[in-house]
């Protein structure tokens, strides 16, 4: 609760980092106040992770109906009601954000609506609807997240959308150009291609999903090819010309100028940290050259009692990273001996064939100077559950090191990859070996058996392949 003008623990931002930090801090006995300028749940729950996955799941379900003839399911009169899709998406968002509000109420967390800026060490100002209020605080957690990168020749507006705008299209566009081939761009491409749009992905690099291993990116490209998604690499937009019902895009590829006309252009070129309007310089908080706040293993900044988590600090801009760090910070403030010591930070791309990775890839391990690094891959084609689901595309790969075959990384491509990767993250962080995985018992039939089969293969004792 607010105690006059002095606050105990203040969290700026109510996204997956901020709201988790706030709840855990309250559970540990702190009096917590959250300052939020837009909405509880942040970008993730409102205009990012949750609504995008609702759209992606709807597209998956539609395609499942279309491609279940092998199971004897014939669907000849299937219709798509985009209005109802958005209703489902919006209800999902409301359910999640209402849940955050309910948890805040349960834990007596006070919310100050407005924009927070640091005015001096130990002081913040909250501005809301023309009014300003100054507060002092004991501890401050910065969890302000990130925003889409803007590009000068691709101003957002009209038929040029950012990723947020792409989630709210009332109709299925006949055509869509997505500028950016990272996980955000590829997930949006998958969703709208499944709905029936003619999608083009344009990237400046030599391939899409450049931060993923080549064989995993190749699976995404195969999926896109099956949906007639065009991928233009080493390409850049040169100009835009808005029409009444479309937009003409000029672009350069291989030194030649081309043009195309599409219903919408979606800019998905990554995100930048929200650290430039916080007044961090007033408190002397140190930032790096990318505008990220420098923190130690407890997410403490160089200034006593100021912490930072999530997209505003180094590391992947992932909601679950922010949530994990939020727990660490709350415990650190409570005086507990904690640190962000995890070796495995999972990441997932929700394209048609989901992709997941955790720990190190074999290449990353070797680049880091590790020796005696090996990897082995088990295909889902040999997994009984995948066969019964008619979803045999993909594999499980384990990366291990040394004579004892210590597990240091894993990648999964295929159905339920996002659910299986957590088990492998736990194995890496708890110092398990390939033999430990092989000796685990998984139910039969299950996708989890593919992990055990991959471990057997690494031991040179394969059974199902």
Active site residue 444: yes
Ordered strands of the 235-242 beta sheet: 235-242, 247-253, 256-262
Per-residue b or e along 101-139, where b marks 16 or more CB atoms closer than 10 Å to that residue's CB = bebbeeeebbbbebbbbbeeebbbbbeeeeeeeebebeb
d(CA 40, CA 23): 13
Q: Quick one: tokens of 227?
A: 């949906």
What phi, psi does 438 have (nearest 5°)?
Answer: -60, -30
> Which one-letter DSSP state was computed for residue 291?
S
**Is residue 133 within 8 Å of residue 299, measured between CB atoms?**
no
**Among 110, 258, 320, 444, the one annotated catalytic:** 444
**Is residue 139 within 8 Å of residue 333, measured between CB atoms?**
yes
d(CA 339, CA 319): 18
Query: For 215-221, which contacts have Cβ atoms below 8 Å and span 24 or more sequence positions?
Result: 215/413, 216/355, 216/357, 216/411, 216/413, 219/353, 219/355, 219/393, 219/394, 219/413, 220/186, 220/349, 220/351, 220/352, 220/353, 220/355
Ordered strands of the 230-232 beta sheet: 160-162, 264-267, 175-179, 198-202, 230-232
d(CA 429, CA 407): 9
Query: Pairing between strand 110-113 and 115-120?
Result: unpaired
In sequence order, the β-bridge partners of residue 308 are: 142
The contacts of residue 354 (CB under 8 Å, 6+ apart) are: 348, 413, 414, 415, 416, 417, 418
Peptide linkage before 316 cis (omega within 30 of 0): no
Cα–Cα distances (Å) from 238 to 149, 151, 153, 242, 447, in that order, read 18, 12, 7, 14, 46
Q: Which residues are catalytic?
A: 444
């Amino acid at each position: 609760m607010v105690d006059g003008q002095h606050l105990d623990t203040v969290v700026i931002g109510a996204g997956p980092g901020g709201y988790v930090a706030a709840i855990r801090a309250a559970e540990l006995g702190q009096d917590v106040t959250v300052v939020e300028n837009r909405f509880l749940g942040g970008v993730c729950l409102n205009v990012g992770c949750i609504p995008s996955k609702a759209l992606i799941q709807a597209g998956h379900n539609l395609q499942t109906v279309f491609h279940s003839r092998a199971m004897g399911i014939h669907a000849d009169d299937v219709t798509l009601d985009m209005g109802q899709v958005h209703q489902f998406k919006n209800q999902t968002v409301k359910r999640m954000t209402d849940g955050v509000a309910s948890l805040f109420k349960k834990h007596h967390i006070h919310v100050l609506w407005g924009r927070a800026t640091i005015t001096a060490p130990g002081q913040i100002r909250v501005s809301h609807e023309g009014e300003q209020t100054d507060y002092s605080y004991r501890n401050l957690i910065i969890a302000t997240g990130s925003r889409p990168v803007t590009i000068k020749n691709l101003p957002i507006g009209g038929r040029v959308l950012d990723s947020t705008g792409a989630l709210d299209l009332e109709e299925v566009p006949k055509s869509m150009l997505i500028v950016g081939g990272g996980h955000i761009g590829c997930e949006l491409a998958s969703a709208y291609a499944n709905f029936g749009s003619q999608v083009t992905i344009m990237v400046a690099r030599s391939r899409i999903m450049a931060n993923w291993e080549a064989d995993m990116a190749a699976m995404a490209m195969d999926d896109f090819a099956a949906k007639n998604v065009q991928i233009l690499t080493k390409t850049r937009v040169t100009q835009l010309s808005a029409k009444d019902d479309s937009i003409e895009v000029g672009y350069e590829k291989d030194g030649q100028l081309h043009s195309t006309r599409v219903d919408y252009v979606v800019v998905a070129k990554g995100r930048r940290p929200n650290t430039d309007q916080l007044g961090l310089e007033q408190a002397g908080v140190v930032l790096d050259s990318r505008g990220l706040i420098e923190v130690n293993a407890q997410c403490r900044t160089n200034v006593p009692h100021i912490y930072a988590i999530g997209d505003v600090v180094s590391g992947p801009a992932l909601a679950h990273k922010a949530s994990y760090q939020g727990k660490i910070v709350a415990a650190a403030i409570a005086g507990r001996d904690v640190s962000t010591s995890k070796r495995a930070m999972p990441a997932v791309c929700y394209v048609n064939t989901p992709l997941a990775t955790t720990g190190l890839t074999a290449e990353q391990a070797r680049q880091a100077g590790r020796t005696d690094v090996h990897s082995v891959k088990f295909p889902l084609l040999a997994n009984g559950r995948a066969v019964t689901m008619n979803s045999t595309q993909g594999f499980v790969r384990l990366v291990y090191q040394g004579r004892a075959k210590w597990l240091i990384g894993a990648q999964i491509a295929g159905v339920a990859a996002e659910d299986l990767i957590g088990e492998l993250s736990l194995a890496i962080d708890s110092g398990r070996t390939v033999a430990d995985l092989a000796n685990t018992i998984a139910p039969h039939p299950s996708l989890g058996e593919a992990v055990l089969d991959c471990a057997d293969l690494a031991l040179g004792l394969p059974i199902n392949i």
